[in-house]
Structure 1
Amino acid sequence: MSYYNNLKSDINKILKTKVMKDTYRKEVVNMFQVSQPPKEKFGDVSTNAAFSLSKLSKTNPKIFAEKIIKELKKENYIEDVKIEGSGFINFSLKRNFWINEIKKVLNQKDKYGENNIGNSKKIVIEFVSANPTGPLHIGHCRGAVYGDVLSNIMKKSGYKVHKEYYINDTGSQIEKLTNSVIYRYQELFNKKENKIDNSLYPGEYLIDLAKELKKKYGKKYIKESKENYYFIQSFSLKWILDLIKKDLNLLGVNFDSFFSENNLVKKNKISKCMNFLKKKKLIYKGIPEKPKGGDVDEWEPREQYLFKSTKFGDDVDRSLQKFDGEYTYFAKDVAYHFDKYNRGYSSMINVWGADHGGYIKRLSSAVNAITEKKADISIKVCQMVKVINNKKKLKMSKREGKFVSLNDVLNDVGRDVTRFIMLLRKNNEDIDFDLQKVTEESKDNPVFYVQYAHARCCSVLREANKHFNKNEISFEKIKNNSFKEIVDKNEISIIKEIVKWPKILEDSSNYHEPHRITFFLQSLAAKFHSFWNYGKIDPSKRFLNIDNKDLSISRLGLIYSVKIVISNGLNLLGVKPLNVMK
């Protein structure tokens, strides 16, 4: 639990027993915030309690604030407290408060920051779910990292997380894949290099797939027949899915399950979902409106079964089944989420690519309908990744088979760099991936900068063992020392940054924003490196002072704390903390 929550608990107690004794009710605790002030000059912590709650007591906000302040000053950790503006309360905390917080870091180590926000609630996070028609590219990578790290964060926050990949293995794109492989397979035998037309996938990976088919079976499936068609389709899907799984493994992303759309069809789960909606009178026959945007692939101006999605917040009613009886992609998606709910997941998170933003309303309305508003779904869209090589933006076109594969990127820059960079921006912002800059060894490279801070901590600990008796500077001795020598304002500043970690983790979980962790790690690394540089100018500021063992032990406590928190953060990102820079 973050210290913000502890302070909020203290303020809530003051409200309940002193300030709002006659008007307090249980909702009050959720009606005010305790947070970091917008600027450092306003103190360490700010609360809007007086501003938000004064109306309940029919009191002027400033008078209400003065009553809170009177009680707050009785707490032994309050240094100073002031009213700002129309009732905001800002307060500064004493040195002993920060020392107690740093001791929590040392005592809890890798458990520091964990919370139980989720209270063991089951949640399914579906991400990547790329069509099994080709290898993963750099765009898929962003969603993969986002979903994987968000899963790690939610687990640390007490949720029971299930990570799922939805395999879109039915429909026209699978037919196109099969025909493309057949073309490449036949090409190996007739030795003619014909220009591939737009009805087929152009990617060169299909040549490798066809060669594997030939290597295993020779000409066995060259003859055109229904049986051969479906065998090649099955072989191709497995080959590509294995390729996808291999790349995900290189990225450090593993799933709890791969859910096949084809099995959804075979087990009649779509028709069962449609029957449920019919019983609820949420399906009718009609002609769908023509989409206002460019999404007209499945639109047909003929009578078909429509879902009353406008009843649940969508713009228009959506088609579920075409006039010829074939289910739409939307119907399959509705059935899939109905299955999620029936498996016990009343909380769902979907991570989508940039081209799916227009699909959010219709699926959200469907989930409301099929779960009778008993489930919640959060859909997060990851924007584009712009790959830059030698200062030039690489052009990508899936239609032309031109893309930057995930495998190539991982081979060029590595897993750790790739994962960290993918979270340098909020998911709804485009991100630049400069293949040269991400491997630079400078402070302008955030991955290097954070890893360097961790490595420097390790180097200080190694150096300490050369100058002091190991028993004198054991971890037990360090975590139990009084820290009375920690008085420098820059040392306290580092502590204040370190102990923000539990709040960062809480917010990352609550708002589904993993990028908060990379932002925090960069900020902590910057403060650490700044203090390190002070030691170059003034020897008394160095973390190790050979002539002052007590000061060194206290500062080694800071070193361990920085190391613990950076390590905790990097581990959640799926990035290995480095003890020595390579």
Structure 2
Amino acid sequence: MNLFTDLRGVVLAALEQMTQAGELPPGLDFANVAVEPPRDPAHGDMATNAAMVLAKPAGMKPRDIADRLAGRLTDPRISAAEVAGPGFLNLRLSPAVWQDVVATAIREGAEFGRSDIGAGQRVNVEFVSANPTGPMHVGHVRGAVFGDALANLLAFSGHDVTREYYINDGGAQVDVLARSAYERYREANGLEPEIREGLYPGDYLIPVGEALKAKYGTRLLDCPESDWLAEVRDFATEAMMEMIRQDLAVLGVRMDVYSSEKALYGTGRIEAAIERLRSMDLIYRGVLEPPKGKLPEDWEEREQLLFRSTAHGDDVDRPIQKSDGAWTYFAPDIAYHWDKIDRGFDALIDVFGADHGGYVKRMQAAVAALSNGRVPLDIKLIQLVKLFKNGEPFKMSKRAGTFVTLRDVVEEAGADVTRFIMLTRKNDAALDFDFARVLEQSKDNPVWYVQYANARVHSVLRRATESGIDVGDSSLACADLTGLSHPAELDLARKVAEWPRLVENAARAHEPHRVAFFLYEIASDLHSLWNRGNDEVALRFVQNGDPATSQAKIALVRAVGVVISSGLAILGVTPVKEMR
């Protein structure tokens, strides 16, 4: 139930009537006509921009359109349609509308707000995709939470979602991992490890070295690198991926698919992808212009194999093969995205770290070319997370050797708190994570504030049950809700009504942080109503000696609980029923 969509349908029907009556010229495009909450709640319950967006193409004054439209909005839910300013049309709805929203939220439960705007569209969300060279660090946490919450949001809005992890196991970094693990293998055999510069120094490789000893004994000690590198690389990579899977599980993230970069090499798939682009005249040999600004010392003009990415919106064409014939990092990424297109996905989403900003246009150009513009690629960049405690930069034990791990963060703050806080900023804005503040019990801590609201919902239900009031969902959904008439109560019901619209808008924008913001707002409204009840007896949720009125007020509280529980589920946070 999206009340805003329903009322937009009423407005569009009235506009069609005006067209048929000759009050509007034929052929007008109504796509940009919106019905949304007014900026100032005092102006009404909803507002439409219909007159403003149609005035110019209709060759009419906005106010003339608004006046005629107001006269045709005879839906019984609309108690008044008022023209304001140059032609905005404000709508006031009857209290019964908001009372019905409360009943609907309870009746639909976890399905309330669920949308079908995705229409079963197959969406691939690739996120995390950390190099398999060690445990996940704090920088990966935010991307993991964002990607998982986005996948939840898209699924809730009717998309068929696949969560995917791309294992970057085809580059030089996995050779470095193998050499680092080999030194720990030597250590496990009683030798002094040589952790020279450029190798991974973290203690997390000690168990890998011991596992290598258990498998190979001393057999690899006297072998040249060429004999052991491939085997140790595969062994260490799989060990790191198992560690990463465990890290993700600690955070409540589970992937549907793990794809390997290495699996693209030697199979002809990279070559096939490049040939496909060549058949479109998008591959050529050429010389790139030097980078703007100060030239690197090693810059030299040389002919390379290039992808004509400028034909699809990029700033410059991009090299796909080095002068020695080896593929650039971009080439297997092209093949990997072509594979996703071939798997039948209707839309692709990549979640990258902020340092991949330069990769956005070239990857979008490749996908546009490979799919003939059919499959959109949205790339979300995740900004850095800075750790603090009591306002001071915070450093924890770093068993990884050079960075704070995901495990460190979750063990300190908890998975639910970590997930919620990581979504309290838009993905492209930097985020400060203060361990003291995210655990404090105050309004300034959004996760505590929202969870406290949910706990209050259950506290009300328990108190009502103790008073002998039937608060089962079936009873509350069928209760007489006409007692919900106080402006403060109707305002909270209006907030409940915004939830389905919020879900759709957040899903369209690929912005799960909007859910976290909304939960804070509705929690604040519930707390405010609770506090008003301390001074105004008529606003208390349980009215002694009046079970019918109590049921109506408790129904409102229960509807808020439905929204909070659904929102937390999208964020991947477990709602609490009691604060401890």
Residues 515 and 217 of structure 1: is their aligned pair in 2 closer, same or farther, counting only changes over 3 Å?
Answer: same
Q: Structure 2 counterpart of 1:546, which letter?
A: N
Query: Which residue of the partner structure matches residue 538 of structure 1?
Result: 536
Number of corresponding residues: 577
Q: Give the structure 2 partner of residue 219 of structure 1.
A: 218
Q: How does 1:182-581 map to 2 (within 5 A)?
A: 182-189=182-189, 191-192=191-192, 196-222=195-221, 223-292=223-292, 301-394=301-394, 401-468=401-468, 470=470, 473-581=471-579
Superposition deviation, residue 391 in structure 1 = 2.6
Matched-pair contact (CA < 8 Å) for 2:184–2:193: no
Contact 1:166/1:258 (CA < 8 Å) preserved in 2? yes
Alpha-carbon distance in structure 1 between the residues aligned to 2:172 and 2:294: 18
Q: Does the CA-based 8 Å contact 1:180-1:200 persist in structure 2?
A: yes
Kept after mapping to 2: 8 A contact 1:20/1:57: no
Structure 1 residues 247 and 504, CA, compared in 2 at 3 Å: closer, same or farther? same
> 1:21 offset after TM fit, Å?
4.0
Cα 1:217–1:279 change in 2 (3 A) is: same
Q: Which runs of 5+ in 1 are unaligned?
A: none
SS where residue 338 of structure 2 aligns? helix
Per the TM alignment, residue 539 of structure 1 is displaced from its structure 2 partner at its CA by: 2.8
Contact 2:81 2:91 in 1 (8 A): yes
Give per-residue Cα distances to partners, 1:344-372, cap 9 Å, x unaligned: 11310111111111110111111111112
Deviations 1:524-557 (CA, angstroms, capped at 9, x unpaired):
1111111111122233321101211111011111
Q: Deviations over 1:320-347 (max 9, x none)?
A: 1122221110011111111111111131
Q: Report the alpha carbon displacement of residue 277 of structure 1 after superposing the two structures with TM.
A: 1.5
Distance in 2 (alpha carbons) for counterparts of 1:483 and 1:145: 39
1:70-89 superposed matches below 5 A: 70-72=71-73, 74-89=74-89
Q: Which amino acid aligns with 1:519?
A: F
Name the TM-score, length of structure 1 as normaliser.
0.94
The alpha-carbon deviation at position 397 of structure 1 amounts to 14
After TM superposition, give the deviation of residue 46 of structure 1 in Å: 1.3
Shift, 1:144, TM fit: 0.7
After TM superposition, give the deviation of residue 295 of structure 1 in Å: 12
Distance 2:296 2:156 in 1: 42
Q: What amino acid sits opposite 2:120 in the alignment?
A: S
| Structure 2 equivalent of residue 142 of structure 1 | 142
SS of the aligned residue for 2:56 comes to: coil
Q: Is the 8 A contact 1:19 1:67 kept in 2?
A: no
Kindly indicate whether the alpha-carbon contact (under 8 Å) linking 2:107 and 2:474 is maintained by their aligned counterparts in 1: no
Following superposition, the deviation at residue 395 of structure 1 comes to 6.7
Change (3 A) 1:347 1:474: closer
User: Match of 2:58, SS?
Assistant: coil
CA contact (8 A) 1:130 1:140 kept: yes
Give the C-alpha shift of residue 228 in structure 1. Answer: 1.5
Question: Could you say what the CA RMSD is over the residues aligned between the two structures, in angstroms?
Answer: 2.3
| Mapped contact 2:469–2:547 kept (Cα < 8 A) | no
Tell me the percent identity.
Answer: 39
Task: Say which SS state the counterpart of residue 455 (structure 1) adopts.
Answer: helix
Unmatched runs of 5 consecutive residues or more in structure 2: none
Say if 1:42 and 1:575 are closer, same or farther in 2 by CA, change over 3 A: same
* Contact 1:15–1:21, Cα closer than 8 Å, also in 2: no
Counterparts of 2:456 and 2:315, CA distance in 1: 55
**CA gap 1:301/1:346 in 2 versus in 1, 3 angstroms:** farther
Q: Is the 8 A contact 1:396 1:402 kept in 2?
A: no
> What is the alpha-carbon distance in structure 1 between the residues aligned to residue 333 and residue 174 of structure 2?
17
1:35-46 alignment runs, 5 A limit: 35-46=36-47
> What letter corresponds to residue 314 of structure 1 in structure 2?
D
CA contact (8 A) 1:135 1:405 kept: yes
Partner of 1:14: 14
Q: Write the letter of the residue equivalent to 1:382.
A: I
Q: Normalising to structure 2: TM-score of the pair?
A: 0.95
Mapped to 1, the partners of 2:20 and 2:355 lie a distance apart of: 51
Report the CA distance shift for 1:252/1:499 in structure 2 as closer, same or farther (over 3 A). Answer: same
> What is the identity, as a one-letter code, of the residue corresponding to 1:368?
A
Cα distance change of structure 1 residues 4 and 469 upon mapping to structure 2, 3 Å threshold: closer
Code of the aligned partner of 1:545: Q
- Deviation (angstroms), 1:218: 2.8
Measured in 1, the distance between the counterparts of 2:170 and 2:35 equals 50
Structure 1 residues 503-512 or 370-379, which shifts more?
370-379
Deviates more, 1:285-294 or 1:361-370: 285-294
Q: Secondary structure at the match of 1:123?
A: strand
- Does structure 1 retain, via aligned residues, the 8 Å contact 2:114–2:156? yes
**Following the alignment from structure 2 to structure 1, what is the Cα–Cα distance between the partners of residues 18 and 458?**
49
Q: 1:34 to 1:340 in 2, by over 3 A?
A: same
User: C-alpha separation between the residues in 2 aligned to 1:186 and 1:296?
Assistant: 40
Partner of residue 157, structure 2: 157
Counterpart of 1:483 in structure 2: which amino acid? L
* 1:170 aligned residue: 170
8 Å CA contact 2:28–2:57 kept in 1: the answer is no
SS of the aligned residue for 1:114 comes to coil
- Are 2:106 and 2:559, in contact at CA under 8 Å, matched by a contact in 1? yes
Contact 1:288 / 1:300 at 8 angstroms: preserved in 2?
no
Offset of residue 167 of structure 1:
0.4
Tell me which residue corresponds to 1:31: 32
User: Secondary structure at 1:305's aligned position in 2?
Assistant: strand
Structure 1 segments, 4+ long, off by >3 Å, are 19-27, 187-194, 289-301, 394-398
Q: CA separation of 1:511/1:492 partners in 2, compared to 1, >3 Å: closer, same or farther?
A: same
Quote how far apart the aligned CAs of 1:238 are.
0.5
Deviation at 1:71, TM superposition (A): 1.4
Residue 529 to residue 26, structure 1, CA distance change in 2 (3 Å)? farther
Aligned to 1:66: 67
Question: CA 1:295 to 1:9, structure 2 compared with 1: closer, same or farther past 3 Å?
Answer: farther
